[in-house]
A and B are shown apart, each in its own frame.
Chain A
Amino acid sequence: MVVMVLEKVPRSLRGELTRWLLELDTGVFVGRVSAVVRELLWEKVVEKAGDGRCAMAWRTNNEQGFALRLHGYQDRVLRDFDGIVLVSVRTAEALRKAEKLKRIAKAVRGDFENQTSE
C-alpha cells in the first residue's frame, strides 16, 4: 500500500501517476505497487515536482508498520527517534521555544562551570 500527497505540482505529473495509482482526491494518490515501482515513481515525482511538495507513506514491516518520505517542504522534516519516525513542524511557537531551550541550556552550563570553578 502506497499513499502519495502532491501539492502544487505540474498537472502532467499527476496525470502520469494515475497510470499506476488511484487519485482519491486532488493530489492524493493510493495504490499497491512493488517496491521497485514505488522507488521509480518517487524518483519521477521528485524530478518533476518543481517548486511543489510531495509526501509518500508506504506499508512496511517495522514497528510503526509504515515508512515516510518528504520532498520540497520548507517547514516540515522527518525525525528519527531511534527507529520511530515522526514529523516535526517549524512553527513560530516552536522557534520561540527552541530559543528558550538554548538560553536554558546556556544558563545550566554557566551554573555548572561556576560550581566546578569554586
Chain B
Amino acid sequence: MPPVPPARNLKELPKFRDGLSYLYVEHAFIEQEAQGIGIYDREGLTLVPVAALGVLFLGPGTRITHAAIRALAGNGCTVCWVGEGYARFYAQGLGDTRSALRLQRQARAWADPGLHLEVVYRLYEKRFQEPLPRDFSLEQVRGLEGVRVRAAYARWSRETGVPWKGRSYDRRDWAASDPVNRALSAGAAYLYGLAHAAIVSAGFSPALGFIHTGKLLSFVYDVADLYKTEVLVPAAFLAAAEGDLEVERRVRHRLREQIQEARLLERMVEDLLDLFQGLGLPEEAKEEEEDPTRPGGLWDPEGEVEGGVAYGGDGPGEGAEELEG
C-alpha cells in the first residue's frame, strides 16, 4: 500500500477532529436560542456548543423546532433520532464541504471492480495489526476477520469477568438480550451515528459501501466496523461489568472514553481519505474551495467543461438570465 502523504490541505479535517463526538438528549424541548441551540428540560436551559458537535442523538420525548434543525444543519451537525430498541432515524445537514469531488472518487472506486476490491482490502487491512497476506482470497480474509472479532469478545470477557455466550439480539424484544449484548447494540447505534457524521462531514456518501452493499447506510457500516473491536467492545463489556441496570446510559459514557483514548474523531476522517488515496483517480490537488458558491462544472465525455456559462450564444460568457430574459 502506498504510504499516506503527510501534507494535505484539508480544511474540514481539523473541524471534525477538534469537536465533541456526540450528545444524547431525552425528554426535552430543543429550540434555537439566541443564534445557538438550547435544551429545555427539568434542570433548566442548557446551551449546546453545536458548531463543535458531531452528532446530536435525540431520545424519546424530545421535541425540536424547525429553527433548531436549521441551525444544526447549518453547522454540519448530524441529527439522529434514537428510538426504542435503538433503531435509528437519521437526518443530516450538508457536510462542511460543498465539493462533490470526494463523492465522485468514492463512486468511481465503487463502480470499478478492480478498485472496489482494492478498497475492500484496505478496509480489512486497517483492522489488523500485521499486514494482510496479499495472496489471500477474500473468503480467507473474511475468515481471519471472524477469528479476530471472536478473539476480541473473548479477551474483554476475560478482562472484565463478564460472561460471553456469543452475540445475540432479538430485533423485536430488546429486553430479552443479556446486558452486554444490549450494551453492544446500544453502543453500535452511537458508533454508527458518529461514522455517519464523519462521512457526511468529509463529503462522502453513506450509501456507497464497499464491504457492505445494498443499504442506504452501507458505507457507515464499513467505516464503523473499523473501530468496533477497539472502542465498542471494551465500552460494552466495561459498562456491563458495572451492573445490569441502565446499561444503555453507561455505555454512552464508556464509549466516549474509548473514543477519546483511540483519538477516533481525528482518525475517522484520515482513514476515510486514505481509502481513496493513490487509486489512480483524480487526486485532491485542487480540492481547496476558495469559493464555495462557485458554480460546478458540466459533464462532457471529453472531460468536464466550465459551468455557469451560457453556451450556444453569440458572445461566450453571456449570462443565462440574459438569454432567457
A97 to B, closest residue via Cβ = B40
Instruction: Please report which residues of chain B, range 11-60, place their CB below 8 angstroms from some CB of chain A when the two chains form the complex.
Output: 20-21, 23-25, 27-29, 40-48
Q: List 10 A-B contacts (CB under 8 A).
A: A63-B259, A81-B24, A82-B24, A83-B256, A83-B257, A88-B44, A89-B46, A94-B44, A94-B45, A98-B41
- Write out, one digit per residue, whether chain A residues 72-83 have a CB within 8 A of any chain B CB (1) or not (0): 000101010111
Please report whether the interface of chain A is mostly helix, strand, loop or mixed according to DSSP. Answer: mixed
B253 and A88 form a contact (CB under 8 A): no
Whole-angstrom distance from the CB of B272 to the nearest CB of chain A?
Answer: 20
A89 to B46, CA, bound (A): 6
How many chain A residues touch B (CB < 8 A): the figure is 27
Say which residue of B25, B41, B45, B252 sits within 8 Å of A101 (CB atoms). B41
B43 and A63 form a contact (CB under 8 A): no
Which residues of A are interface residues toward B (Cβ below 8 A)? 62-64, 75, 77, 79, 81-84, 86-91, 93-95, 97-98, 100-102, 104-105, 108
Whole-angstrom distance from the CB of B220 to the nearest CB of chain A?
Answer: 21
A81 and B249 form a contact (CB under 8 A): no
- Besides the contacts A75-B44, A89-B44, what 12 more A-B pairs have beta carbons closer than 8 Å? A62-B260, A82-B249, A82-B252, A83-B257, A86-B46, A86-B47, A87-B46, A89-B45, A91-B45, A94-B44, A101-B27, A101-B28
In the complex, whether B61 has a CB less than 8 A from a CB of chain A is yes
A98 and B40 form a contact (CB under 8 A): yes
B27 and A105 form a contact (CB under 8 A): yes
Whole-angstrom distance from the CB of A118 to the nearest CB of chain B?
Answer: 21
A75 to B, closest residue via Cβ = B44
Q: Of A77, A89, A93, A97, which is in contact with the most chain B CB atoms at under 10 Å from its CB?
A: A97
Count A-B contacts at CB 8 Å.
70
A90 / chain B contacts, CB cutoff of 8 Å: 43-45
Q: Which 5 A-B pairs have the closest CB atoms?
A: A82-B252, A90-B44, A83-B256, A97-B40, A94-B45
Which residues of B are interface residues toward A (Cβ below 8 A)? 20-21, 23-25, 27-29, 40-48, 61, 249, 252-253, 256-257, 259-260
A101 and B29 form a contact (CB under 8 A): yes
A90 to B24, CA, bound (A): 20
B29 / chain A contacts, CB cutoff of 8 Å: 97, 100-101
A81 / chain B contacts, CB cutoff of 8 Å: 23-25
Whole-angstrom distance from the CB of A97 to the nearest CB of chain B?
Answer: 4
| Contact status of A83 and B252, CB under 8 A, knowing A62-B260, A97-B29, A105-B27 | yes
A75 to B44, CA, bound (A): 9
A62 to B20, CA, bound (A): 10
B21 and A63 form a contact (CB under 8 A): yes
B25 to A, closest residue via Cβ = A81
A102 / chain B contacts, CB cutoff of 8 Å: 42
